Amino acid sequence: MSVLVTETDRFVHSCEFKLESSIDLQFQFPITEFTKHTIGHYKSFLYKREKGTFIYRILDAKLLANRYLVIFFQFTNKKSADPAFARIDNGQSRIVQKAPNEGGACTNHLVIDTQPIQGGHNTYNAILESMQGLSRTTICDILNALIRTIKYQDPDDKNVTHTPKVSLRFLAKMNFEQQLKEGKVKTIVAYKDSVKKSTMLDDDSMSIEYKQVSTLEFSKPSAMSMIFDSLARISKFSKEQGYNRIKITHEKNKITQSSDYYLDDIEDKNYQETADDIRLAPFTERYKIELNLPIKICDSKYHSELVNKMISHL
C-alpha cells in the first residue's frame, strides 16, 4: 500500500506499443495473434521474480469495441510491510496484518489501440496507468513471458516460424519549450534514486536490496518568461547535491501533465547551455485523470471509468 496513491485520480502515460518478430524486425506480425493469445491464456499465466517474492498476474484481458485491448495487471509482493492506517484527529495508528499466504498488492491498466499507427511499422498507440511495481519495463517483461510460446507460421516460408516480442516507449509530442508556452508550472521537484543493500539477509541468505528515493521541492518561478533560466539553475544545483532528475508538473486547460528531465550530462554545460537543453528535451505525455468513482490500489476487476477515459486520450 502506498500513501501517495489516492482513490480519486490516476496518472497515465501515452506510449508507443511495438509488436515485432524476435527473428525478423521487418516481418509484419499480426496483432490479432497477440490479442487472441493474451485473451485466451491470461487466466493460467503466472510470472515470478526475486525467487518467487514478486508475483505478477493478468486479472483480465478483453477487446472493447473490436479495437481496444484492455489488459489488467496485478503485482503482489510477499515481503511487503503490513499496511497501516492512522486517525486524522490524533495520529493513533493501527496495523492490518497480512495472512501467511498474502502479500501487498496493486493493479494497473494498459490499453492498446489495435489499429496500427499510420505510417508506422508494427507500432500502435497505447496508454499505461502509472503504478509503483508495474513499470513500463516490467509490463513488457510480463507480456513477453506470456507470449513466448506463440509460434506463428511465416506465410512466405514454410520453414520459418515467428515468436513475437513487445516493447513500450513513452511518447512525447512536444518538447519542454512547446509544452510550457502556455498554462502554468505547478511543481518542480528534484529526485535522488539510489539502490541500497540492507545488512539483513532474506530467507536465501542474500542481502536485501531496496530503493531509496529522496526529494527536494523548489518554489515556482514568479515569471514564466524566466522559467528555463530557473530550471537550469535548479538542475545545476540539484546535480551538485547528488540528485539525478527533476520532475516538472504543468497544467494547461485544466489538464495536468508531468515529465522528468534527467541530469546525467549537465556537468560540463553552463547555465545557458543547460537552459537550451531543457527547452529541446522531450516532454513525455503523462496525464492526470480525475475520477468520479473511487478506485482501489488493488481490485479484482478493471475500473470501467478509468478505462473509458484512458481510451479518450488515445
Which residues, at least 6 apart from 104, have a Cβ–Cβ distance to it below 8 Å? 1, 76, 77, 80, 81, 83, 98
Question: pLDDT value at position 241?
Answer: 93
Q: How far apart are CA 132 and CA 122, in angstroms?
A: 28
Q: How far apart are CA 262 and CA 30, in angstroms?
A: 36
Length of the chain: 314
pLDDT in tens, the chain (314 residues): 455 678 899 999 999 999 999 999 889 899 999 999 999 999 999 999 988 899 999 999 999 999 999 999 999 998 888 888 888 898 888 888 888 888 899 999 999 999 998 777 889 999 999 998 999 999 999 999 999 999 999 999 999 999 999 999 888 778 999 999 889 999 999 998 765 555 444 444 444 454 567 889 999 887 778 899 999 999 999 999 999 999 998 888 888 888 889 898 898 899 999 999 999 998 887 788 999 999 999 998 999 999 999 999 88
What pLDDT sits at residue 19?
96
State residue 205's pLDDT score: 45
* pTM (predicted TM-score): 0.73
Classified as helix, coil or strand, 56 is: strand
Domain ranges (residues) in the chain? 9-171+289-312, 176-284
- Residue 264: the pLDDT is 86
Helices (runs of H) and strands (runs of E) counted in the chain: 6, 18
**Interatomic CA distance for residues 224 and 243, integer angstroms:** 24
The amino acid at 106: C
Per-residue pLDDT, 197: 52
Long-range contacts (CB closer than 8 Å, 24 or more residues apart) made by 267-274: 267/239, 271/229, 271/232, 271/233, 271/236, 272/232, 274/232, 274/235, 274/236
Which helix (H) or strand (E) element contains residue 189?
strand 184-201
> CA-to-CA distance for 302 and 300, rounded, in angstroms?
7
CB-CB contact of 231 with 245 (8 Å): no
